[in-house]
């Protein structure tokens, strides 16, 4: 667990915390299935992970794939966004989260 959030994590957390995003209740740094996920909405079994450029490394990407499969085995839906996407386009990131959570359309 990390106490200090990255800029991208802080930006997204400011959108998610206190049920700000369509009433969804997210928790930060939640342990699930032996992993500590960046953000999770237990009510919707939805995990949001933010990845920096180091996640482009083949070894780390393989570990991310393993984590995702492990969480999906327990019924969680895992969304991954690049830090840059959050910094540059937080509105579309949030819209995608809402759609996957089943609370929004694609109009």
pTM value is: 0.90
Per residue in 24-50, pLDDT tens? 999 999 999 999 999 999 999 999 999
Q: Which helix (H) or strand (E) holds 15?
A: helix 7-16
Q: Which helix (H) or strand (E) holds 104?
A: none
Per residue in 53-66, pLDDT tens? 665 677 888 889 99
Instruction: Show the domain range for 66.
Output: 7-100
Is residue 82 in some structural domain?
yes
C-alpha–C-alpha distance, residues 12 and 56, integer Å: 21
Tell me the CATH number at 64: 3.40.960.10
Is residue 96 in some structural domain?
yes
Is residue 39 in some structural domain?
yes
| Residue 41 and residue 9 in contact, taking contact as beta carbons nearer than 8 Å | no
As beta bridge partners, residue 31 has: 36
- Axis crossing angle, helix 7-16 with helix 90-100, rounded to the nearest 10: 50
Structural domains counted in the chain:
1
Eight-class DSSP state of 2:
-
């Amino acid at each position: 667990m990390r106490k200090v959030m990255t800029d991208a994590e802080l930006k997204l957390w400011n959108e998610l915390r206190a049920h700000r995003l369509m009433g969804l209740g997210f928790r930060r740094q939640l342990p699930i299935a032996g992993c500590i996920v960046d953000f999770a909405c237990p009510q919707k079994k939805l995990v949001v992970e933010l990845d920096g450029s180091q996640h482009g490394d083949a070894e780390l990407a393989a570990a991310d794939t393993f984590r995702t499969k492990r969480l999906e085995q327990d019924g969680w839906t895992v969304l991954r966004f690049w830090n840059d996407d959050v910094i540059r386009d937080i509105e579309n990131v949030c819209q995608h989260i809402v759609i996957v959570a089943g609370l929004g359309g694609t109009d």
